[in-house]
Structure 1
Amino acid sequence: MSPSERRSAILRLLCKRRHETATNLAEEFGVSERTIRADLVILSCYYPIQVLRGRYGGGASLPNWFHMESKTLSPKQEALLRKLRGTLDGDDLQVLNSILAQFALYWEYR
């Protein structure tokens, strides 16, 4: 397995499990923990991976709002767009509503 394939597999696993330790990932992929940590550093440049140190609760995790198969807005992004919606009208309002409809998790036209 190439490093690129391994990183893709790590990202898919994190999307499913939401949290995993470097030790478990190293065992699963048959590489060292140092290799996994390097992979996580590279992945964190492109994805919202959070890496926490520590024996209990440490490891890599993804925020609940992130899903690879569908792009979504974070709660803060969605809240800001909802605030802006009140200041818009016409075509601008329609464009903003289409963005919210496409990317917000729980969007309703109100």
Structure 2
Amino acid sequence: MTLPVKPVHSNAQSRDREWTWITTLERRTAILKHLCRNRFDTSANLSVMFNVSERTIRSDVVFLSCSYPIQTIRGHGGGIQLADGFYVDRNALNAKQYALLKKLLLRLQGEDYVVMVSIISQFAPYRGC
């Protein structure tokens, strides 16, 4: 399904551009990239940005949270945030690499153990759902 989106621009001249059309996948990708840049936003702001309902944004967030560490915070000051340290373009370990590092971790002590834990936590694939 393709929906209209008014582009968000920083300069006044380009704000008056025509509406563009994007697919659901493109919108979800744009939401994820927006959260990577800004780390936090509200469903109300995102719904205005993408010209869809807040319910659509909530559905997109539920979908994205199955693959990415996206969290929602309810109440005053709440919104949608991406877990600290997560960025879309970061490389991740594959299953064999992850298993080997976990096996090696059991043999390490002291500073080596701490460094290996930081490597695993930084590059391990996220398993949200």
Instruction: With the length of structure 1 as denominator, give the TM-score of the two structures.
Output: 0.66
Correspondence for 1:31 among 49, 52, 58: 52
Q: What's 1:21 paired with? A: 42
Kindly report structure 1 stretches of 4+ aligned residues shifted beyond 6 Å: none
1:65 and 2:81 aligned: no
CA distance in 1: counterparts of 2:68 and 2:47, whole angstroms: 20
CA positional deviation for 1:5:
0.6
Structure 1 residue 25 displacement after superposition: 0.2
Deviation at 1:83, TM superposition (A): 4.7
Aligned AA (2:29) = S
1:26/1:33 contact within 8 Å kept: yes
Secondary structure at the counterpart of residue 60 of structure 1? strand
In 2, Cα distance between the equivalents of 1:85 and 1:20? 42
* Match in the other structure for 2:108: 86
1:62 partner amino acid: L
Quick one: which amino acid aligns to residue 86 of structure 1?
Answer: L
Please give the root-mean-square deviation of Cα atoms over the aligned residues, in Å: 3.0
**Does 1:55 pair with 2:72?**
no
* Residue in structure 2 matched with residue 43 of structure 1 by the alignment: 64
Q: Tell me if the contact between 1:66 and 1:72 (Cα under 8 Å) persists in the aligned partners.
A: no
CA distance in 2, matches of 1:72, 1:21: 28
Higher helix share: 1
The answer for unaligned runs of 5 or more in structure 2 is 1-21, 94-100, 110-115, 125-129
Are 1:65 and 1:72, in contact at CA under 8 Å, matched by a contact in 2? no
Q: Specify the SS of the correspondent of 1:43.
A: helix
Show the counterpart of 2:5: none
